[in-house]
Amino acid sequence: MSELATATEIHRLFDADNHYWETSDAFTRHRDPKFAERGVQLREIDGLLRYVVDGVPIEVLPGPADVHPRPLPGAFLDFFQGGTSRDVFESRFTERPADHPDWFERDARLRVMDTQGLDYTWLFPSQGVVVEPYLHSDLDATIECYRAFNRWLEEQWGFAYQDRIFAVPYITMCDPDATLRELTWCLDRGARVVNIRCGAAVTRAGNRSPADPMFDRFWGLAAESGIVVAVHDGEDSTYTKIYELMGEAWGEPHMGGIAPGDTDTMGQSSTFSGLIKNRVVHDFAYVLVAHRLFERFPTLKVSFVEFGGAWVPSLLRSLDYLAHGGGFTSSPRDQFIEHCWVAPFVEENIQELARLLPVERILFGSDWPHGEGFPVPKDFLANVAGFTPDEQRRIMYDNARELTFPR
Residues 6+ apart with CB under 8 A from 237: 133, 134, 136, 199, 202
Supply the mean pLDDT for the chain.
90
Q: Which amino acid is at 71?
A: P
Percentage of the chain lying above the pLDDT 70 cut: 89
pLDDT tier at 261 (50, 70, 90 boundaries)? low
Residues 6+ apart with CB under 8 A from 356: 312, 313, 316
pLDDT digits (tens, 9 = 90+) for 78-116: 766 665 555 655 555 667 888 899 999 999 999 999 999
Predicted pLDDT of residue 85: 53
Nearest to 143 by CA among 108, 191, 176: 176
Predicted pLDDT of residue 247: 80
CA 314 – CA 304 distance, rounded (Å): 15
Percentage of the chain lying above the pLDDT 90 cut: 71
The full set of domains in the chain, from first to last, is 7-404 (3.20.20.140)
Nearest to 146 by CA among 169, 177, 122: 169
CA 333 – CA 342 distance, rounded (Å): 14
Q: What is the 3-state secondary structure (H, E, C) of 214-255?
A: HHHHHHHHHHHHCCEEEEECCCCCCCHHHHHHHHHHCCHHHC
Predicted pLDDT of residue 224: 98
* Number of residues written out for the chain: 407
**Please, is 248 exposed, middle or buried when counting C-beta atoms within 10 Å of its C-beta (0-12, 13-18, 19+)?**
exposed
Query: In angstroms, what CA-CA distances link 129 with 60, 171, 279?
Result: 12, 10, 18
Alpha helices in 49-127 (DSSP H): 77-80, 86-91, 106-116
Question: Can you give the pTM of this predicted structure?
Answer: 0.91
pLDDT digits (tens, 9 = 90+) for 5-48: 454 466 799 999 999 999 999 999 999 999 999 999 999 998 88
pLDDT digits (tens, 9 = 90+) for 209-239: 999 999 999 999 999 999 999 999 988 888 8
Predicted pLDDT of residue 231: 97
Predicted pLDDT of residue 246: 83
pLDDT digits (tens, 9 = 90+) for 303-336: 999 999 999 999 999 999 999 887 899 999 999 9
CA 253 – CA 247 distance, rounded (Å): 7
Predicted pLDDT of residue 297: 98
- Say whether pLDDT at 172 is over 50: yes
Torsion angle of C-alpha atoms 367, 373, 377, 379, degrees rounded to 10: -150
